[in-house]
Structure 1
């Protein structure tokens, strides 16, 4: 199945990644090797990295659908990719400090400097771009600090998108280069739904890890609210642990994503790529829920049935016909 938000733009994406790689080759040892490895792990050729393209691909969308000049689109996309790597490293250090924290922070600052230089090649210091840039970073800073004592998901599910607000820089820059500043607010509002859904799918996948490390998690927040309990990121109450695989709660969590997906699909400001990506994320979340429910049902049927269902290879259509 074609990823409509990514596959048509892979040649441009590859050019952007090659541009970033050229920059990283000039980094000092041993940082260059680590930078190239982080870039490789982020490449959309890796199946699990495809949806994370939202942080850098929007200028490439605007190149093909809105007429943004190719050189500007590639340069802005490269800056966004560098900036994205900076925030990914920063988030890793904040979520789970390790022995590599110094390495990640060092690399992050190199990414940040290169990103600023690249943005500077597109926007003069007097450009309104830098006003938007500052607001996006402020939104991010408020969000990552607010998670320590505010339950954003219960206030408004869209608030969890602020943690990914730097991803808006690409679309903001593209609209300014196209001289369409009036579209920034409505298009970014549509993009926030995609960022919210992406965070919801990540939180559902990372539930166990976030519970251990005391990181804010929208699914754990959802469980707490359903149980009419205050959500304390650490330590979690036993009742929350006991309801992580509650079928009703998993389905109602996915329903929230679908509700906003319907809003996005009917928005006049949404880019078609937003709708395609968000629908994919919603379906991924629903499939994850169904997989867990199916796993539970096999366990309930008994040990032998579970062993048979888990260990037998899936038959092809011809094999199934032969077995009848």
Structure 2
């Protein structure tokens, strides 16, 4: 994966630096912070991989012409930002499962996030106006999610749940004196974040349905089956929609349209474009695999058994 492999060494250094910073937290928070960081390590197996959070600073480095050290600083900042928002989201989604010290830990990590950006932009009001903009986008998205249908009404709001990722764009383009490129790159990252959310919604629909969280795949099934808004689809209705009616094709088609839009920034940010192609291909492959299994079942049970056992 050329959007990842060239940056693995720098990612390793970024996570090592993040670990070093967290080791200086007060004793009660040190081990929980380090354990939480380990859950998201980009280069370890069986971890949650939020690649776009860590890699945007490196993907934009050739365009901006900045030092690798600056890109790494923003990558470390984005690691802390990702950790902070995950902790806050967990507090909002599952308040009854709040761990002791979770909110103070979140604030300590957020402080490190702000300190790293402040070291570059303490006297830059334009940069902090972007920071305010992205926090506002996040706040509006997470607070209105349960009462809105983002997929059908305004899909970009799905991506705004990770709007803070774009802070690296504002930072790097400001340092490079290329602020004029910020709107195009913002829109491109929003587009990638939407596709990333579509992929997550496919993988997490059962969990989201059980917890009452918004999920685009669930929303599509609810609309297609004309289920009244006062109830959500049953799990079996969603499984049938995926396996019989090809509902996953809605998501893969949306990702395909998003990829066509990103052609405009292919030369500007080629790694971002290739990362989106990776997401798009995963969705399309998933839809094709389901269609192939359905075809085997329709062709007879023996053919399906042979395909699974030989």
Deviations 1:146-192 (A, max 9, x none): 11211111013222111111111111111111111111111100111
| 1:189 maps to which of 182, 187, 190 | 187
- 8 Å contact kept, 1:76–1:122: no
Deviation of 1:97 (Å): 4.1
1:14 aligned residue: 12
Deviation of 1:292 (Å): 3.2
Question: Which has the larger displacement, 125-134 or 25-34?
Answer: 25-34
Taking structure 1 as reference, are residues 156 and 49 closer, same or farther at Cα in structure 2, changes over 3 Å only?
farther
1:136 aligned residue: 134
- 8 Å contact kept, 1:220–1:240: no
- Describe how 1:14-93 pairs up with structure 2 within 5 A: 14-46=12-44, 52-93=50-91
1:320 aligned residue: none
Q: Which runs of 5+ in 1 are unaligned?
A: 313-324
CA distance in 2: counterparts of 1:268 and 1:63, whole angstroms: 15
Deviation of 1:98 (Å): 5.3
- Describe how 1:1-324 pairs up with structure 2 within 5 A: 3-46=1-44, 52-97=50-95, 99-229=97-227, 235-238=231-234, 240-241=237-238, 242-267=240-265, 270-298=268-296, 306-312=304-310
CA distance in 1: counterparts of 2:251 and 2:229, whole angstroms: 16
- 8 Å contact kept, 1:221–1:231: no
Deviation of 1:249 (Å): 1.7
CA distance in 2: counterparts of 1:62 and 1:237, whole angstroms: 42
Deviation of 1:277 (Å): 0.5
Deviations 1:179-236 (A, max 9, x none): 111111111001111111101100110011101000000111122232344556xx41
Question: Which has the larger displacement, 267-276 or 167-176?
Answer: 267-276
Secondary structure, counterpart of 2:39 in structure 1: helix
Taking structure 1 as reference, are residues 47 and 192 closer, same or farther at Cα in structure 2, changes over 3 Å only?
farther
CA distance in 2: counterparts of 1:297 and 1:101, whole angstroms: 47
For these two proteins, the number of residue pairs brought into alignment is 308
CA distance in 1: counterparts of 2:20 and 2:162, whole angstroms: 26
- CA RMSD after TM alignment: 2.5
Deviation of 1:51 (Å): 5.6
Deviations 1:226-261 (A, max 9, x none): 2344556xx413485352434432112211110111
Deviation of 1:283 (Å): 0.7
Deviation of 1:38 (Å): 2.3
1:321 aligned residue: none
Question: Which has the larger displacement, 111-120 or 21-30?
Answer: 21-30
- 8 Å contact kept, 1:57–1:77: yes
Deviations 1:284-304 (A, max 9, x none): 112222333344455556666
CA distance in 1: counterparts of 2:40 and 2:28, whole angstroms: 19
Secondary structure, counterpart of 1:251 in structure 2: helix
Query: How high is the TM-score relative to the length of structure 1?
Result: 0.85
Deviation of 1:266 (Å): 3.4
Secondary structure, counterpart of 1:143 in structure 2: helix
Taking structure 1 as reference, are residues 125 and 220 closer, same or farther at Cα in structure 2, changes over 3 Å only?
same
